[in-house]
Structure 1
Amino acid sequence: MSPVSPADAPVPAVRDTGDAAYTDGRGTFHPRERRLVAGRTLAGETILTVDACVIGSGAGGAPVAKELAEGGMRVAILEEGDWHESAGFTARPGEMATRLYRDAAQLITVGVPPIPLPLGRAVGGTTLINSGTCFRTPAHVLDHWQREFGLTDLTPAALDPYFRRVEREINVSRVPAELAGASARLVLEGAAKLGLSAGHLFRNAKGCVGSGVCAFGCPTGAKQHTGITYVPRAWAAGATTYTGVTVRRIEHRGGRVTEVVGRTAGGGTLRVRCRHAIVACGTLLTPGLLRASGLGTRSGELGRNLSIHPASAARAVFDEDLDPWVGVPQSAYIDALQDEGIMFEGISGPPDQAAMSTPRSGPEHRDLMAAVRRTASFGVMVHDTGRGSVHRHLGRTIVRYDLHPDDAARFQRGMAVLADVFFAAGAREVVVPLAGVPTLRGGDTGPLAAARIRPRDVSAMAFHPLGTARAGADPAHSVVGPDLAVHGIEGLHVADGSVVPSSLGVNPQITIMALSTRLAFHLLGQPAPEHEPVPTAIA
């Protein structure tokens, strides 16, 4: 007896997104079998024939694979990383970074300043190790896409059914105040005193207990990443995941895709003959695969237009014990400066994570770590102006990106507002990650206001690379069309952050998932899923 497709199951008209939806861990999906083949067991040559080969299992690949499989297609999912059990996540950052991140979380941009850009490498991709924060694409961004890139069908109303479907699949709901953590509580108190718009974030979680280690694999399995949501649903519909497979090229003949060729961890060759190939390797890796296959290069845009959403965090020392590793690390936001391209989101974690990211050295670093129980932190994210590029050199992915001076100014502005928020909440001192700015004390942000901050003075990370195979109506200025098909080749589509044509200013995971879901419905010739439930509230 075949499993019932979620599309055939009854769906309530309204979906709760409140505290109960977030904390209730019941009703998670478990497939009857894991259709999982480890690449280390594949030597020699293996040949498969399917309808669709999906390359990648993250925010883009897993949703399209699940929808195509449920729609009746034979689907193979190829993943370079491994499958990991939630029970094996140890909550030790150093240990988990080497297991779950690409290059042990040491991928860094080449430019001024160098910026770490951590990516996941496992079934679930970066959704396995991200913050879990879920924002729909802002309406003003969609308006920009329509005007600038001719993506006239990507309106809030047209995308709404796909967002509702994604949000149901991964249980997007609001973080309850009691799980938000002390840092979030203090920041929200400070924001309220200053009259700044703020609140608790929406995340893809179910049964969350606030373990505090979202970035290193959720040990309770509460974070609804694609590896435990979409991929098992794809298995139930007949898809198979092949782990430990590095795709080398996409073969094509007569203007259409014929097969996908990969190297297995067991030293073999995997050939997947298919009518549809969906590239979902991620913004940094998709350009290299397309270029190696001689595809997507007509416009000269492949690998260009990279946005990375630079981010940094300020720290504040209080009199009370906060134990910042208790609770949801990214649980609250301030959006009062969104029109200026500045978003504030929570960031916290275990002490060893704080040790790596605290912007001081020597005795100052020692003193800050001695006060770590009393330290709150919060992040500043900048809707970036600068654009970078990505290319392959000697087998390595090279990311070139220079922080724009306007974005350095946004960091300075954001850190000043955040310092005011911390002081309004009762902070004794505030440390900002801007070179030359001393520790701020007594509510005095004058030294920060007086500083001349250049791009090289900003200590930043980045988390949301987008745009290197951007979508657009004009083949002369884009890599894929509005339907995410690569210009000039039949049967080849891209479904990951590389198609997103500009920076969003917010976390992009459900934008990528919604676009991927829309692609699947297009390939299946199905109308938008208008029957999906309406959330009681959403970001």
Structure 2
Amino acid sequence: MSSPSERGPFPDENLPEGSVVDGSQLSEAFEDEADYVVVGSGAAGAVAAHTLAAAGHSVLICEEGPWVRTREFTEDIDSSFRNLLRDNGLQVLRGRAYMPMLQGRVVGGSTVVNSAIAWRMPEDVIDEWRRDFGLGDAITMKDLEPHYEALERDLGVHPVDETVLGENNRLFIETGTKRGFEPQAMRRYERACQGSSRCIQGCPNGAKQGMNVTYVPWTLAMGGRIVTDARVERVVVSGGRAVGVQARSKSGARILLRARLGVFVAASTVQTPNLLRRSGLRSRALGENFQAHPGQGFGALFDKPVDMGFGATQGAESIHFRTSHRFKLETISMPPELATARVPGVGAELSKRLSQLGNVGVWVVQFRSEGKGRVGTTWGGADRVTFSPTAGDMERLRTAFAAIATMMFDAGALEVWPGI
């Protein structure tokens, strides 16, 4: 496999002159103005910015994190987490137990570090929202269909190709099929995936079609601008209308971005409520009813090579239990530094297992929780998210854990490590 330096140019290179303002390099106050200001450059913000620019509007994007270019992505987990993830990857959901919560803090947001999974909203979920929250015909699958098609076309969404499936994913599909769990290859937004299993460190090949190599560069090509390494402190409101944002760069410089027509806040489920609070919005509902799809990985030592170092990071799934038990089963490949954390034991026992790391695979339970949490802040102003699953969630999780452990033993696992 050739190295990234031997390929290119990548879409995040050779950008229009003046289109990127690096906040880490600002030595004095900075001001700019556009029709619209978009806070955040992840899946929501980047698409919103591109849509506005395509309609002929001038657009300014403000991103808290840096722009780490494709050629700068590295295999090293420590530097990747420091450069790409919020709180160095140590952010957690607080409740009866602490659960990791990974968020990208980089141009492209979490699309840079996730596994490129592209899922349409299931129609039964839309029906549930319409029934439970009185949405009526405000959101229908028919309305969403052309937008899904456009996104999938732009981002090259398709099932993982057999050539880059890898043994971890292949083993999952073969075993799930025998069990009647109807597994399938993941649909992902990528073009020419090389199976490097490095999604979480940023795709080194420019294959994953994250916002950093698609909608953000496309927006800049249409005249948009982006300020990176700049944390928005508040939305400026005048006469009941958002007219801009105040931010502070990584270097400490004050930033004012004025918006002639409006401000789009796309700072994620966590950062958006807290930004709105800092901006003076008062609502009892703000930050309430946080929900997520927590997951739990199971490691296993198989009787055959798995080689998580090759294959789509997450390339196979089963939705057999989605409607009946609210969970799905899927795969995930991990770099050695993370995979070793799944390996139990001490001393000679641990050493023996680590010597067999090539036979280790990791599969995951993801569940749609009924539990609800809250997004708030600590006394010091840092983000704080509380969440605990319900008793019903825990009962369904037990079913999920049994299903995935059984699959692993069926696939030839000598040992299964729940990691809980």
Distance 1:68 1:372, change over 3 A: same
Equivalents in 1 of 2:31, 2:239: separation in Å? 21
Q: Is the 8 A contact 2:326 2:367 kept in 1?
A: yes
Equivalence for 2:243: 258
Q: Is the 8 A contact 2:15 2:217 kept in 1?
A: no
Equivalents in 2 of 1:123, 1:27: separation in Å? 18
Q: 2:42 aligns with which of 32, 46, 58?
A: 58
Distance 1:126 1:293, change over 3 A: same
Q: Is the 8 A contact 2:343 2:354 kept in 1?
A: no
CA-to-partner distance for each residue in 1:466-509, whole Å, 9 max, x for gaps?
xxxxxxxxxxxxxxxxxxxxxxxxxxxxxxxxxxxxxxxxxxxx
Q: Is the 8 A contact 1:193 1:424 kept in 2?
A: no
Q: 2:400 aligns with which of 400, 414, 431?
A: 414
Equivalence for 1:501: none
Equivalents in 1 of 2:312, 2:98: separation in Å? 28
Matches of residues 520-535 of structure 1 in structure 2 within 5 Å?
none
RMSD (CA atoms): 1.8
Matching residue's letter, 1:287:
P
Q: Is the 8 A contact 1:359 1:432 kept in 2?
A: no
Q: Percent identity?
A: 32
Write out the 4+ residue segments of structure 1 that deviate beyond 6 Å after TM superposition: 25-28
Matched, 1:240 2:225: yes
**Higher relative contact order structure (alpha carbons within 8 Å, sequence separation ≥ 6):** 1
Equivalents in 1 of 2:412, 2:91: separation in Å? 37
Q: Is the 8 A contact 2:54 2:222 kept in 1?
A: yes
Distance 1:32 1:81, change over 3 A: closer
**Offset of 1:26 from its aligned partner?**
10
Equivalence for 1:429: 415
Q: 1:205 aligns with which of 187, 190, 196?
A: 190
Q: Is the 8 A contact 1:55 1:280 kept in 2?
A: yes
Equivalence for 1:138: 122
Matching residue's letter, 2:73:
F
Equivalents in 1 of 2:271, 2:218: separation in Å? 26
- Per mean C-alpha deviation after superposition, the further-off stretch among 27-36 and 43-52 is 27-36
Matched, 1:372 2:363: no
SS at match of 2:416: strand
- How many residues of Structure 1 are paired with residues of Structure 2 in the alignment? 407
CA-to-partner distance for each residue in 1:326-365, whole Å, 9 max, x for gaps?
1112000011111110101111121111123x16342554
Matches of residues 120-159 of structure 1 in structure 2 within 5 Å?
120-151=104-135, 152-159=137-144
Q: 1:217 aligns with which of 189, 202, 206?
A: 202
**Offset of 1:178 from its aligned partner?**
2.5
**Offset of 1:266 from its aligned partner?**
2.7
**Offset of 1:235 from its aligned partner?**
0.4
**Offset of 1:28 from its aligned partner?**
7.6
Matching residue's letter, 1:302:
L
Equivalence for 1:12: none
**Offset of 1:431 from its aligned partner?**
2.1
The runs of 5 or more residues in structure 1 that have no matched partner are 1-24, 434-458, 460-539
CA-to-partner distance for each residue in 1:173-209, whole Å, 9 max, x for gaps?
1101221111111111111111221110011111111
CA-to-partner distance for each residue in 1:402-450, whole Å, 9 max, x for gaps?
23222222222112111222222222222223xxxxxxxxxxxxxxxxx
Equivalents in 2 of 1:391, 1:371: separation in Å? 43
Q: Is the 8 A contact 2:343 2:353 kept in 1?
A: no
SS at match of 1:47: strand
TM-score, length-normalised on structure 2? 0.93
The runs of 5 or more residues in structure 2 that have no matched partner are 1-6
